[in-house]
Amino acid sequence: MSDSYYGRPVIKEPTWTWEIPIYLFTGGLGGGSAVLSAAARLAGNERLAKTSLYLGAAGDVVSAPLLIADLGRPERFLNMLRVFKVTSPMSVGSWVLFVSGGASSTAAVLETLDRLRPVKYLAELVSALFGGPLATYTGALLANTSVPVWHEGRHELPWLFGASGTATAGAAAALLLPPEEAGPARRLAIGCAAAELAAMEVMQHRVGRLLAEPYRKGLSGQLTRASKLCVAAGAGLLAWKGRQSRSAAVGGSTLVLAGEMLLRWGVFKAGFASARDPKYTVLPQRQRRDSNR
Amino acid sequence: MSVPDGWLAYGDEQQERVGFFTDTSVCIGCKACEVACKEWNLVPEDGLVFTGESYDNTSTLGANSWRHVAFIEQEKPLRLDDEDGEPLRWLMSSDVCKHCTHAACLDVCPTGSLFRTEFGTVVVQEDICNGCGYCVPACPFGVLDKRHIPSLPATTTRVSGSEPQASERPDGRVWKCTLCYDRLKGGHEPACAKACPTDSIQFGPLDELRARADARLEKLQQENWNGVQLYGRDPDDGVGGFGAFFLLLDEPEVYGLPPDPVVTTRDLPGLWAQTALAAGAVVLGVVASFLGGRR
């Protein structure tokens, strides 16, 4: 029995280019940092609150032009806000980023000017409320497609990206702050790096041997392995010496950040690999069909 | 289950749901459908290649091919009771957008560019589309794609002595079959069905087409045709039935079609639940990280 039509893909690869995996990283940084900043403000750790506020605003502010640049018609980016559709994670995400980015950049500007403190606190609250969704919806964005490794990883992708974004936020703050101010950020980076590695293992296991292939083979496999290595080494270094040594904190944080960026690229490229080869679409579907016949 | 999402909202303006029944047992591979579609819809030429894949140089549906005739040469008998020594058959099938009852492209479109027409079909509004590309990997059939070449100017008359000038700029929007929405509005059948010389592509009210397909399937089964089956006719399948369905002579995957397509948004409620839980966990994780000291 033939498995495909001249080996051609059944579904189309996404048209998304390099801006999108970078956005997955910056959006995760923005969302995680907004929550971290608000928690630090409540805990009275003003230096951490300020650092994460700026990091979060930077993540959000960089994200928008990345997304706009990826559009086929960038000048029509505002069409994203002409409807709100819960059936489209991209529609929901556009609104989340719009609100969250607007709030975090407002708060960052007011922080710099040291004016309108109540407005700043309100903006920080809004940004923090939307931070969690901003860090996790990108998992739904990818999973809500016909791309086999993304769709079948739908139970884990929001957790994986949420953990990755929060680890990114923690590591970024721990990179910029001296260890005596960075305790929560460092612990967040270590804990969420471990959670991210665990989520990746669960996902690779749950999608089954065939669909886990893109995470082991080819470019996406190399990116995934490099990500695991960087994240594990970075989190280990932070846990071991990050509290005492500034240079260990800088090195560990940098490794975690690099690993989380590689993770986004690995998941992104694995999706393309699974869309390109028809066996990933046909074999699981044929199994499902034949068991229903 | 089998009512297209959004179609009922038309109220008084709602029209009978129409579609295609493509009976591949009478397709002769003439590609008149491909040509008629390109001519009527001003679909640009995107390069001429030789693939060596039987008579198919179009290869796939996409932004610049809204009908695609597949050619498969097989060493299989056409009928199960053929006693010939060396069996051989040549399968041909004109593929097209399925105009799903539950359409993933329409669900995921963040601008509302993709919409359900009063005829129950699915169409991209090109004045709205911003080329985000979300519908491209959402479609379980790989029908839509982004147009990376310039579009032709939408002029209906050619000034004598001057060729219409294509813009230099890549189009950047997504394109697919509209089931000739403009022709439907004028009471005409779509260009491909009109041009099909063997009535392999049949256009009409979907209910009628389904009844006709059932009768055709029964006849070919009685005549022992090898592998004959309907594809996309069942309103209970993963996309709620196709608006454009097929009679095939082998498994769908042989024609490059997915064996058991499911609209991706069917799983979205559970996916949103996971997303919300994970967002809550982000907050909890951050709070927990403050349980230690400042250092």
pLDDT tens profile A10-25: 999 999 999 999 999 9
Which of A32, A72, A87 lies closest to B146 in CB terms? A72
Distance CA B133, CA B201 (A): 29
Instruction: Identify which of B172, B173, B259 has the shortest CB distance to residue A286.
Output: B259
A250's tokens: 């800088």
pLDDT digits (tens, 9 = 90+) for B132-151: 999 999 999 999 999 999 98
Which pLDDT score is estimated for B157?
55
Residue from A131, A129, A124 nearest A103 by CA: A124
What percentage of chain B carries pLDDT values higher than 70? 95
| Least confident range of B77-81, B151-155, B240-244 | B151-155
For residue B147, list chain A residues with Cβ-Cβ distance below 8 A.
Answer: 72
Tell me which of B180 and B159 has the higher pLDDT: B180
Give, as one character, the DSSP assignment of residue B253. Answer: G
- Looking from the CA of B43 toward its CB, the CA atoms found within 13 Å total 28
3-state secondary structure of B212: helix
Judge contact between B128 and B113, C-beta under 8 A.
Answer: yes
| Cα torsion A113, A166, B281, A65: sign | positive
The Cα A281–Cα A212 span in angstroms is 13
What integer is the mean pLDDT of B76-82? 88
- Measured between CB atoms, which of B109, B143, B271 is closest to A143? B271
Residue numbers in B near A10 (CB within 8 A): 141-142, 253, 256-258
| Residue contact A184–B289, C-beta within 8 A | yes
A-interface mutation test, from B64, B167, B253, B257, most A Cβ less than 10 A away: B253
State the best of A8, A15, A45 to mutate against chain B, taking most chain B CBs within 10 Å: A15
Continuous H helices in chain A: 19-43, 46-70, 89-113, 117-143, 148-151, 157-176, 183-206, 208-212, 218-241, 246-276, 278-292
pLDDT band at A144 (very low <50, low <70, confident <90, very high): very high
**pLDDT confidence tier of residue B111, bands split at 50, 70 and 90:** very high
* Domain range A19-292, its CATH number among 1.20.1630.10, 3.20.80.10, 3.40.50.740, 3.40.50.300: 1.20.1630.10
Please tell me the predicted confidence (pLDDT) of residue B167: 66
Q: Which of B291, B43, B82 is nearest to A186 (CA)?
A: B291
Q: Which residues contact B205 (CB under 8 A, 6 or more apart)?
A: B16, B17, B18
Of B108, B256, B285, the CB nearest to A188: B285
Residue with tokens 């769908």: B252
pLDDT of residue B243: 97
Task: Read off the pLDDT of each residue in A112-119 and give the average, rounded to a whole number.
Answer: 94
What's the mean pLDDT in A62-79? 97
Q: Are A1 and A90 in contact (CB under 8 A)?
A: no
Q: Please tell me which of the candidates B56, B107, B289 has its beta carbon nearest to residue A88.
A: B107
If phi > 0 it is left, if psi is from -120 to 50 it is alpha, else beta; for residue A191 that is alpha
pLDDT of residue A40: 97
Burial of B159 (0-12, 13-18, 19+ CB in 10 A): exposed
Distances from the Cα of A144 to the Cα of A133, A148, A226, B212, angstroms: 16, 10, 26, 35
Residue range B275-294: mean pLDDT, rounded:
94
User: Residue B258: its chain A contacts at CB < 8 A?
Assistant: 10-11, 281-282, 285
Distance from CA of A15 to the nearest CA of B (A): 6
Structure confidence by residue, pLDDT tens digits, A255-288: 999 999 999 999 999 999 999 999 999 999 999 9
Instruction: Read off the pLDDT of each residue in A86-112 and give the average, rounded to a whole number.
Output: 97
Q: pLDDT-derived band of residue B153, with 50, 70 and 90 as boundaries?
A: confident
Mean predicted confidence (pLDDT) in B143-165: 74
In one-letter notation, the amino acid at residue A166 is T
* Closest chain A C-alpha to B184 CA, distance in angstroms: 27
Find, in chain B, the residue whose alpha carbon is nearest to that of A186.
B289
Q: How far is A249 from chain B (nearest CA, A)?
A: 12
A33 contacts in chain B (CB < 8 Å): none
Res B158 pLDDT > 50 = yes
Are B69 and B94 spatial neighbours (Cβ–Cβ below 8 Å)? Answer: yes
Q: Which among B144, B267, B270 has the least Cβ separation from residue A12?
A: B144
- Strand B244-248 relative to strand B122-124, pairing: unpaired
Count of A–B CB contacts within 8 Å? 264
Backbone angles phi, psi at B257, to 5 degrees: -105, 150
Using the beta-carbon criterion (under 8 Å), do B275 and A36 form an inter-chain contact? Answer: no
Is residue B168 very low, low, confident or very high in pLDDT (cuts 50, 70, 90)? confident
CB contact under 8 A, B110 and A85: yes
Q: Determine which of A264-273, B2-11, B164-173, B230-239 has the lowest per-residue pLDDT on average.
A: B164-173
For the cut 70, the answer to whether the pLDDT of residue A165 exceeds it is yes
Q: How far is A69 from chain B (nearest CA, A)?
A: 10
Strand partners, B91: B72
How far apart CA B281 and CA A140 sit, in angstroms, is 16
B84 backbone dihedrals φ, ψ, rounded to 5°: -60, 150
Nearest-5° angle of CA A109, CA A115, CA A120?
A: 60
Picking from B53, B132, B257, the nearest residue to A6 by CB comes out as B53
Please give the pLDDT value at position B154. Answer: 65
A239 pLDDT higher than 60 = yes
Predicted pLDDT of residue A161: 98
pLDDT (mean) for B53-63: 96
pLDDT, position B295: 82
Q: Which of B286, B287, B291, B295 to mutate to test the interface with A (most CBs of A within 10 A)?
A: B286
CB atoms within 10 A of CB A246: 14
Closest alpha carbon to B64 in B138, B121, B145, B130: B145
User: What is each CA distance from A25 to A148, A162, A238, in whole angstroms?
Assistant: 22, 11, 20
Instruction: List pLDDT tens digits, range B176-190.
Output: 999 999 999 999 999
CATH annotation of B8-265: 3.30.70.20
Residue B175 or B3, more confident: B175
Residues in contact with A270: Cβ distance below 8 Å, sequence separation at least 6, in sequence order: A149, A214, A215, A220, A221, A224
Q: How far does A84 lie from chain B, in Å, by closest CA?
A: 7
Contact criterion met (CB < 8 Å) for A88 and B274: no
The domain spans of chain B are: 8-265
Sign (positive/negative) of CA torsion A51, A52, A55, A61?
negative
The tokens of A109 are what?
A: 């500007």
User: Per-residue pLDDT for A1 more than 60?
Assistant: no
Please give the average per-residue pLDDT across B39-65, as a whole number: 95
Residue A74: closest CA among chain B residues belongs to which residue?
A: B130
pLDDT of residue A32: 98
Among B107, B282, B291, which would you mutate to test the A interface (most chain A Cβ atoms within 10 Å of its Cβ)?
B282
- Within 10 angstroms of residue B2's Cβ, the number of other Cβ atoms is 13
Are B133 and A72 in contact (CB < 8 Å)?
Answer: yes
Please give the pLDDT value at position A151. 98
Mean pLDDT rounded to a whole number for chain A: 96
Rounded to the nearest integer, the mean pLDDT of chain B is: 93
Task: Report residue A278 as tokens.
Answer: 């028809």
Question: E-assigned strands of chain B?
Answer: 18-23, 67-74, 89-96, 114-116, 122-124, 145-146, 174-175, 201-205, 229-231, 244-248
pLDDT band at B87 (very low <50, low <70, confident <90, very high): confident
Give the pairing of strands B89-96 and B114-116. Answer: unpaired
Tell me the shortest Cα–Cα distance from B173 to chain A, in angstroms: 6
Least confident range from A1-5, A6-10, A208-212, B122-126: namely A1-5
| pLDDT(A250) > 80 | yes
Q: Please write the tens of the pLDDT for every residue from B206-233.
A: 999 999 999 999 999 999 999 999 999 9
Q: Chain B residues with CB inside 8 Å of A11's CB? A: 137, 139-142, 258
Stretch B36-57: mean pLDDT = 94
Rounded mean pLDDT of A61-83? Answer: 96
Residue of B nearest to A281 (CA): B258
